[in-house]
Amino acid sequence: MEATSSMWWLTWVLGALPIVILLVWWWNEIWYVFGSKDRAKLPPGHMGFPFLGETPKFLWYFKVLRRPDDFVNSKHRRYKNDVGLYKTHLFGSPSIIACSPDTTKYVYQNEGIFMAKWPNVEIMGENTIISKYGKAHKRLRGAITSAINQPQALRPIALLVQPRITAALESWAQKGKIVALEETKKVTFENIGNLFANIQPGPLLDTLDRLFVGLVNGIRAQPYFEQTYHYSSTNIQTVAILAMNDLDCRRKLKEIFRAELETRKQDRLQGVESRNDLMDGLTAIKDEEGNQLKDEEVLDNIVTLVVAGYESTALSSMWAIYFLAKSPKVLQKIREENQALSQEKNGGFITTEEISKLNLARRPGSWPNPALGVYLLCHVVEETLRMANISSFNFRVAAEDVEYKGYKIPKGWKVLTWIRFIHTNPEHFDDPLSFNPDRWDQPMRPGTFQAFGGGARVCPGNSLARMQLAILIHHLSVGYKWELINPDAAIAYLSHPKPVDGAEVYFSKL
Ligand code: HEM
pLDDT digits (tens, 9 = 90+) for 442-485: 878 889 999 999 999 999 999 889 888 988 998 999 899 999 99
Greater confidence (346 vs 320) lies with 320
pLDDT in tens, 271-296: 777 777 788 888 887 777 778 888 99
Lowest average pLDDT, out of 28-32, 60-64, 417-421, 489-493, goes to 28-32
Provide the ipTM.
Answer: 0.99
The ranges assigned to domains in the chain are 1-130+392-423
* pLDDT of residue 223 exceeding 60: no
* Residue 378 annotated as lining a ligand binding site: no
Residue with CA closest to ligand 1 atom 27: 309
pTM over 0.90: no
pLDDT for 227 equals: 31
What residues contact residue 371 under an 8 Å CB cut-off, 6+ apart? none
Name the phi and psi angles at 432, rounded to 5.
Answer: -60, -20
pLDDT for residue 210 is more than 70: yes
CATH topology of domain 1-130+392-423: 3.30.43
pLDDT at 249: 82
What pLDDT does residue 357 have?
Answer: 59
Among the listed residues 145, 147, 118, the one whose alpha carbon sits nearest the alpha carbon of residue 133:
118
Ligand 1: residue whose CA is nearest its atom 6: 452
Q: What is the pLDDT of residue 272?
A: 78
- Does the beta carbon of 59 sit less than 6 angstroms from any atom of ligand 1? no
Decide: 391 in ligand 1 pocket, CB within 6 A: yes
Nearest residue (by CA) to ligand 1, atom 12, is: 453
Q: Is 141 in the pocket of ligand 1 (CB under 6 A)?
A: yes
- Residues ≥6 apart with Cβ < 8 Å to 36: 42, 408, 410
Statement: residue 347 has pLDDT above 70: no
Q: How far is the C-alpha of 114 from the C-alpha of 414, rounded, in Å?
A: 9
- What spacing in Å lies between the alpha carbon of 317 and ligand 1's midpoint? 15
Burial class (CB in 10 A: 0-12, 13-18, 19+), 71: buried
- Three-state secondary structure along 257-277? HHHHHHHHHHHHHCCCCCCCC
282: Cβ below 6 Å to ligand 1?
no
